[in-house]
Amino acid sequence: GDGLNAMTYNRCIGTRYCANNCPYKARRFNYFDYNKRSIDQLYMGPLAPAAGRARTSEQLQKNPNVTVRMRGVIEKCTYCVQRLSAAKVAAKVAARDSDQVLVPANSVTTACQDACPSGAIVFGNWKNEKDRITEVKGKMGGDGKDGHKRQYELLKYVGARPRTSYLARIKNPNPKMPGAEKIGRVTAEMH
């Protein structure tokens, strides 16, 4: 497996138990119904009259590679599983009859990574030495144990082995302020 904790949206009945019990609080309930249509217009296929079909701008807002979820369903980040699948298929096509099927380093970017102008989001296979995530994690600690002083992983202390890590926010206080030596420092006493 690729280590993703995925959901099957069409099996969700909206009880919200998974959101309540998720230790990371990563699951969210969908209160919106973006695909709501009147009863006589439930199916809008390619042969529907032009007046009834969605405008091009509406069609472009929805990604055809992602499952359409309806109101009353729990959602979570999928780490763009559709992009991962496309990269795996491309790697299998490139490998042809070979048994060595590896997705090339830095070949998959998530949507949030594409949208982030500062490059603050990094995604990749950290078992691959050539991947950018390995370089970033190396800068954050190198040994893979504790990492950077600002790096933290949610629920790591209970043995959850999270794959998402964060950097604590940097605060740049005025050094002349009273108590400035404590501001911006992450310590165990603060938590």
Q: Rounded to an integer, what is the distance from CA 158 to the centroid of its chain?
A: 22
The model's pTM: 0.68
Domain assignment present for 151: yes
Q: Which residue has the higher pLDDT, 83 or 64?
A: 83
Query: How do residues 89-108 score in pLDDT, each as one tens digit?
Result: 999 998 888 877 888 888 89
Query: How do residues 5-35 score in pLDDT, each as one tens digit?
Result: 778 888 889 999 999 998 888 899 988 877 7
Residue from 166, 76, 156, 84 nearest 120 by CA: 166
70 and 103 together in one domain:
no
18 and 44 together in one domain:
yes
Residue from 30, 35, 112 nearest 68 by CA: 35
Number of structural domains in the chain:
3
Domain hosting 105: range is 79-121
Domain assignment present for 29: yes
69 and 84 together in one domain:
no
